[in-house]
């Protein structure tokens, strides 16, 4: 029973982090209907910029994070302005190819600037872990989970109750109709890329603090989160967090209880879960259905 | 006042759709733009609202003026800011937003949030049915409800001129009457001008003071609505009435012999 509880708690914490990263995908998808495959690279950039501030410029860690956020916003806006802007009105497949191009470009730039050897942040979270009854949880994961939930709440409020959020949702529903009521698509796209880059940076810093930085394996976290996004529904913010938690739990529980099936089940299990969910609910657990009236 | 001076529109740099269209919509007036499929009515509206640009179209000659300022080079957001709202053909609702969110997003450019609330009530007064449905997801509303909603959405921007594209499309006659009487009411109470594109010439000429008839990218006939209603060509081609005002009988063998008197 203790093992089970322990695994559940770890699963929840890891899952919340996945959820935060998944949010970056959801933001861009919600505003423009594009799946941004370079999300992992955006994360990496955020993480490295924070590294530059905190280690190379020797700024205290929290101040470094605060400095990273505006830079991340700017990076998102610049990517939109110089790449995605030209893809407005182009077929979806071309836009997705563009994000693949960005992915490779950004990986190259990161390797060029920061080299290939792994980097580490200064000790950010306390080393010891907190115990509740028989369950131990490290402060790192607690922080990660807390931050993720905080961001999700912010985004839910943003999309539901603010004018910019409403405008973004309208744009993702019907671009032409959005144009006809005077919405500037360029502005909406630029905002959504900026916010997505910011989210990615926060996710990147958290992952960086947990596992360290490098330019080869780090961006993989972006793709690792893809099943989370598909599971929750590409356009659902609560879906991202719930999908993240489900995947986190699967990854932690499956090797323990289904380990007899063979090693590496923690890699495989999330995808099997996604396949099953997609067969039953093609738009993911919370994704919006396309409304068709007959 | 909206003035179109001899405008030409070309799609994809090759297809000439409008071949010198000129007309005007005076302040406080309801004008209608009539014509058959493919005459260029929707293109004319899109040239005014700036939506052409997202469809590879451009105004290649002539100019469009609104209160003395040229607007043909502006993007759609600029045109809406100038006080011209377009209601697109085919009820383009934001389907995953609720009814009320759809109406509210129509007012997104406005800074006076106190008056936005008042205008929301104005739209609900105009179409009381919408009030009951305010929390519904708009994609599931009926066609008539959606048409009322998109008209309301355009009104939420507090426009001085509304470009209304085919409001009667696919709707029951009783709903069409309701929508046109709402247009009339807004025109009288708020002094909003309207430019209505319609295939249903009869319904449009009933509310409009002035009408323009388009054919093959040109304005071929225009005049006050009462005069147009009496025009033989209009009766024949757009209302399906014969010489004496009765419904046309297609059993008469020679009806096809009559030709349009204009050359498109």
Buried b vs exposed e over B106-129: b needs ≥16 C-beta within 10 Å?
Answer: bbbbeeeeeebeebbebbbebbee
At B217-229, the pLDDT tens digits run: 999 989 999 888 8
User: What are the structural domain ranges in chain A?
Assistant: 2-280
* Integer Cα distance of B162 and B158 in angstroms: 9
Chain-chain contact of A291 with B92 (C-beta, under 8 angstroms): no
Res B93: pLDDT: 94
Mean pLDDT for B188-200 is 93
Q: What is the largest CA-CA distance in chain B?
A: 63
Nearest chain A alpha carbon to B49: A180
With bands split at pLDDT 50, 70 and 90, how would you rate the model's confidence at B193?
very high
How are strands ordered across the β-sheet holding B30-35? B84-87, B161-165, B193-198, B30-35, B210-215, B218-224
Q: Is B92 on the interface with A (CB under 8 A)?
A: yes
Q: Residues of A with CB below 8 A from B137's CB?
A: 291
Res B260: pLDDT: 67
Q: What is the mean pLDDT of chain B?
A: 89
Chain-chain contact of B94 with A167 (C-beta, under 8 angstroms): no
Please identify, in words, the CATH class of the domain defined by A2-280.
mainly alpha
Q: Between B244 and A259, whose confidence is greater?
A: A259
Q: Is B106 on the interface with A (CB under 8 A)?
A: yes
At B94-124, the pLDDT tens digits run: 999 999 999 999 999 998 888 999 999 999 9
Q: Residues of A with CB below 8 A from B117's CB?
A: none
Chain-chain contact of A291 with B88 (C-beta, under 8 angstroms): no
Chain-chain contact of A183 with B108 (C-beta, under 8 angstroms): yes
Nearest chain B alpha carbon to A89: B54
Res A284: pLDDT: 86
Strand, helix or coil for residue B247: strand
| Chain B: closest CA distance from residue A288 (Å) | 8
Long-range contacts made by residues A96-102, C-beta under 8 angstroms, separation at least 24?
A: A96/A34, A96/A35, A96/A37, A99/A34, A99/A35, A99/A36, A99/A37, A99/A38, A100/A37, A100/A38, A102/A38, A102/A41
Res A271: pLDDT: 87
Mean pLDDT for B46-56 is 89
| pLDDT at residue B28 greater than cutoff 90 | yes
Strand, helix or coil for residue B232: helix
At B136-175, the pLDDT tens digits run: 999 999 999 999 999 999 999 999 999 999 999 989 999 9
User: What are the structural domain ranges in chain B?
Assistant: 2-257
* Integer Cα distance of A25 and A36 in angstroms: 6
| pLDDT at residue B82 greater than cutoff 90 | yes
CATH topology of domain B2-257: Rossmann fold (3.40.50)
Q: Residues of B with CB below 8 A from A178's CB?
A: 94
Q: Which of B49, B102, B104 sits opposite A180 (nearest CB)?
A: B49
Other CB atoms closer than 10 Å to residue A168's CB: what's the count? Answer: 25
* Integer Cα distance of A104 and A74 in angstroms: 20
Give the CA angle between residues A241, A242, A244 to the nearest 5°: 65
Handedness of CA B129, B135, B141, B144 (dihedral sign): positive
Res B197: pLDDT: 95
At A115-127, the pLDDT tens digits run: 888 888 887 777 7
Contacts of A263 by beta carbon, 8 Å cutoff, 6+ apart: none
What distances in angstroms separate CA A213 from CA A118, A203, A205, one per listed residue?
5, 13, 9
Q: Residues of B with CB below 8 A from A183's CB?
A: 77, 105, 108
Nearest chain B alpha carbon to A167: B105
* Integer Cα distance of A14 and A8 in angstroms: 10
Nearest to residue B6, comparing CAs of B46, B56, B65, B54?
Answer: B65
| pLDDT at residue B69 greater than cutoff 90 | yes
- Which residues of chain A carry a pLDDT beneath 50? none
Tokens of A139: 């402060």
Q: Residues of A with CB below 8 A from B54's CB?
A: 89, 176, 179
Chain A positions touching chain B (beta carbons under 8 Å)? 89, 163, 166-167, 169-170, 173-174, 176-184, 288, 291, 293
Of B105, B136, B143, which to mutate for an interface test with A (greatest number of A Cβ within 10 Å)? B105
Chain-chain contact of B108 with A174 (C-beta, under 8 angstroms): no
Q: Is B112 on the interface with A (CB under 8 A)?
A: no
Q: Is B79 on the interface with A (CB under 8 A)?
A: yes
Res B240: pLDDT: 67
Its ipTM equals 0.86
Please spell the DSSP secondary structure of B19-73, one letter per residue: EEEEEEE-TT-EEEEEE-TTSSHHHHHHHHHTGGGGGTEEEEEEEEEETTEE-TT
């Amino acid at each position: 029973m203790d093992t089970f509880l322990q695994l559940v708690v770890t699963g929840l914490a890891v899952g919340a982090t996945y959820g935060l990263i998944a949010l970056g995908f959801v933001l861009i998808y919600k505003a423009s209907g594009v799946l941004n495959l370079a999300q992992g690279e955006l994360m990496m950039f955020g993480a490295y910029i924070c590294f530059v501030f905190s280690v190379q410029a020797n700024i205290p860690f929290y101040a470094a994070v605060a400095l990273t956020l505006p830079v991340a916003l700017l990076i998102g806006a610049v990517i939109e302005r110089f790449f995605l802007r030209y893809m407005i009105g182009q077929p979806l497949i071309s836009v997705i190819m563009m994000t693949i191009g960005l992915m490779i470009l950004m990986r190259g730039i990161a390797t060029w600037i920061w080299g290939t050897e792994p980097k580490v942040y200064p000790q950010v979270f306390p080393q010891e872990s907190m115990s509740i009854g028989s369950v131990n949880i490290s402060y790192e994961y607690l922080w990660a989970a807390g931050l993720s939930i905080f961001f999700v709440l912010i985004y839910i409020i943003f999309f539901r109750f603010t004018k910019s959020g409403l405008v973004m949702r309208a744009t993702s529903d019907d671009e032409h109709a959005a144009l006809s009521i005077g919405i500037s698509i360029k502005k909406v796209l630029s905002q959504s890329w900026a916010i997505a880059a910011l989210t990615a940076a926060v996710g990147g810093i958290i992952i960086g603090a947990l596992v360290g930085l490098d330019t080869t394996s780090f961006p993989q976290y972006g793709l690792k989160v893809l099943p989370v996004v598909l599971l929750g529904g590409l356009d659902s913010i609560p879906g991202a967090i719930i999908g993240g938690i489900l995947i986190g739990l699967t990854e932690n529980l499956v090797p323990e209880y289904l380990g007899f099936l063979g090693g590496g089940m923690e890699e495989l299990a999330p995808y099997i879960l996604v396949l099953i969910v997609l067969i039953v609910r093609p738009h993911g657990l919370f994704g919006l259905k396309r409304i068709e009236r007959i | 006042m909206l003035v179109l001076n001899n405008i030409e529109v070309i799609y994809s740099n090759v297809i000439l759709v409008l071949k010198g269209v000129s007309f005007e919509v005076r302040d406080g007036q309801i004008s209608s733009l009539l014509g058959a499929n493919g005459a260029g009515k929707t293109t004319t509206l899109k040239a005014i609202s700036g939506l052409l640009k997202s469809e590879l179209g451009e105004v290649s000659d002539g100019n469009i003026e609104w209160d003395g300022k040229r607007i043909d080079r502006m993007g759609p957001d600029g045109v809406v800011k100038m006080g011209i709202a377009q209601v697109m053909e085919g009820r383009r609702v934001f389907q995953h937003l609720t009814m009320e969110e759809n109406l509210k997003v129509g007012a997104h450019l406005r800074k006076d949030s106190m008056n936005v609330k008042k205008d929301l009530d104005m739209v609900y007064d105009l179409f009381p049915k919408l009030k009951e449905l305010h929390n519904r997801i708009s994609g599931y509303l009926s066609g008539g409800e959606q048409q009322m909603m998109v008209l309301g959405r355009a009104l939420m921007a507090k426009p001085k001129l509304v470009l209304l594209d085919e409001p009667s499309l696919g709707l029951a006659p009783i709903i069409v009457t309701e929508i046109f009487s709402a247009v009339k009411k807004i025109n009288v109470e708020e002094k909003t001008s309207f430019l209505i594109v319609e295939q249903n010439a009869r319904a449009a000429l009933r509310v409009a003071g002035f009408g323009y008839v388009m054919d093959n990218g040109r304005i071929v006939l225009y005049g006050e609505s009462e005069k147009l209603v009496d025009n033989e060509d209009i009766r024949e081609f757009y209302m399906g009435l014969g010489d004496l005002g009765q419904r046309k009988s297609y059993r008469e063998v020679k009806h096809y012999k009559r030709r349009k008197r204009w050359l498109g």
